[in-house]
Chains A and B, each alone.
Chain A
Amino acid sequence: MTRTLGLALLLVLGFGASVAMARVLDAGRPAAQARLADEAPYLTPETARRLALGFGGLAADWYWLSALQYIGRKIQDEARTKHLDLEQAIELDRIKAVDPRVLVRLFDMITTLDPRFMAVYEFGAVVLPAVDVKAAVALLERGIQANPDQWYLHQQLAYIYWQRGDYLAAADAFRRGARMTSARWMEHMAERMEQKGDDPHVAQAMYTRMYEQAQDEQVKHWALNRLMELRSLRERETIRKVLSGFVGAKGRCPLAWTDLTSALREAGLTLHPQGPPLDPSGTPYVLVISPLGCDVTLHRVSTVPRG
């Protein structure tokens, strides 16, 4: 009995000591770990494909989770440095802090291991152009080659071209996709791209389609944010017109939103019961009055992207 108790005590003490030592050792490690986390995979994608045996899909999932963690860490860092809420910091198409070599290598790795992993192309089309447009185009072209039945990828490619202002290339991508589907809207988008690619209505149509077609929830959320941003830009334009009408009539800025209630309602804006117009996230707009004049801006807690 005494012997058993002694052994149990030794076991507890030994385990406790090992945990304590691990903590001491870990204290000196964070810097090294952070450095490692930003390193691209060591293996080439083709070697990884060979070594994966029958587990290519599982290996692709592993790298997918690594890519998400990598991007997530960058978003957290950005939120910390800019003192933003995490929700406000998640702007997938504007993450500049990611290392393109790491991200491109991770996406290459995943799509080599599992060429049908659509979420990667979808995600890559949104995240990569901020840091490496060429790599984003190459990723999508490779995806189209590996998945010739997925017309949706042509829309993603068109988005990349449209975003960098290459409307003819975007129109071409839409046309290539239109040949694969009976949906007329792709052909229609191609025509609009050629006529006036920088039109806000084209942007609205683009993000609406991205939202409707997205399979990935984060991409869906991002497209919804962009649609909110567009709507808010239109609303702020309308509010500025109402403000300018008030200043023209009264020769001064309004003292509060309540001075504009009827004009704002007539302009079709949604109003808070206490007067201020609401932005697409349901947060009241802020009336800014300064010696230079009056203007409207987003509330600091609003989740509408600031552009």
Chain B
Amino acid sequence: MPLSTETAPTPSRRRRVMAIARNTFREAVRDRVLYNLVLFVLLLSVSAIFLGAASASQDAKIIVDLGLSAILMFGAFIAIFVGVGLVWKEIERRTVFAIFAKPVGRGEFLVGKYLGLCVTLAVNVAVMGAGVTLVLLYVVRGTTPLLVALWPTVTLIYLELTVLTAVALLFSAFSSPIFAVFGTLAVFLIGHFSTDLKGLAELFDAAAVRAGLITLYYALPNLSTFSQITPAAHGIAPTPIDLVAALGYAAAWNITLLAAATMLFARRDFK
């Protein structure tokens, strides 16, 4: 009787991506990425105690400004530094060879890593958002219109972080970690200035310069789209249309960036 070798059925693409995402999340937890939450809680608690006396009845506004800005700042740091390390660490430790020896595509690997970090950021942002809500409730000792604006704004911040993670992944797909950190940081900074690029273009008569600036404006994600922290501190929430538009904009950029990252990563030589 001939011997037959039975191989385990290859998991579907979705399962493979989810397995990588799960591992990425676990690794982030193991690497104590969520420890930043302790710092965040300390920052907010101390602010809540001292601002009441120092801010002339503006403590609720300042708590929202501070809390949301901290969510963005902490999130951006995680997206940039952890995002850049996602691919680099696997290459550095040579684990990338073990992964690609299995039936895992390079694109699946990148998308899995991306989703894993997005889940980490979601947990981070949700816990911080809950922290801001609690501190705000403590400061106002009741309800306030600021609470209505809080969570839609937190959602926008999260969308911005998903784009930033995709940018970090794109840079780390083809370059060194240092270059990737600087590149992502530059996109974060220019992304918040990009509305000015468009305004600047209108000041130039030369068509070539104008076209160059306009091209740059569209070639970079306009991160100010997701920046609604200042209005939120006055109880002004983004409208559902704003949220849907921002979601569409973030999705478009994430797909573009991940596609570009996959293309570049496919050509990367790990030797």
Contact = CB atoms under 8 A, between A and B. Distances in A.
A242 interface: no
A53 B185 CA distance: 12
Contacts of A116: 230-231, 234, 236
Nearest to A113: B230
B134 to A, nearest CB: 20
A215 B58 CA distance: 9
A65 B64 CA distance: 15
B224 interface: yes
Contacts of B232: 57
Given A54-B223, A60-B230, A117-B61, 9 more contacts: A55-B72, A58-B66, A61-B61, A65-B55, A68-B55, A68-B56, A116-B234, A117-B234, A215-B57
A57 B69 contact: yes
Q: Which residue of B65, B229, B234 has the most chain A CB atoms within 10 A of its CB atom?
A: B65
Contacts of B58: 61, 64, 119, 216
Interface stretch (B13-21, B37-45, B188-196): B188-196
B133 interface: no
Nearest to A61: B62
A60 B223 CA distance: 20
17 contacts: A50-B196, A53-B189, A53-B227, A54-B69, A54-B160, A54-B226, A54-B227, A55-B72, A57-B68, A60-B230, A114-B230, A116-B231, A117-B234, A119-B56, A119-B57, A119-B58, A218-B56
Contacts of A61: 55, 58, 61-62, 65-66
Contacts of A117: 61, 234
A58 B65 contact: yes
B189 A57 contact: no
A57 B64 CA distance: 9
Contacts of A53: 188-189, 192-193, 227
Given A50-B196, A114-B230, A116-B230, A57 B65 contact: yes
Report, as a range, how many residues of chain A touch the other chain: 20 to 34
A56 interface: yes
A249 B155 CA distance: 79
Interface of A: 50, 53-58, 60-61, 64-65, 68-69, 113-114, 116-117, 119, 123, 215-218
Contact of B229 (A50, A55, A68, A123): A55
Interface in B179-238: 188-189, 192-193, 196, 223-224, 226-227, 229-234, 236
Contacts of B66: 58, 61
B54 interface: yes
Nearest to B62: A61
A50 B192 CA distance: 8
A64 B55 CA distance: 8
Contacts of A119: 56-58
A58 B188 CA distance: 18
Nearest to A218: B56
Contacts of A55: 69, 72-73, 229
- Among B57, B196, B223, the one with the most A-chain Cβ atoms within 10 Å of its Cβ is B57
Interface in B29-78: 54-58, 61-62, 64-66, 68-69, 72-73
Contacts of A57: 61, 64-65, 68-69, 229-230, 232-233
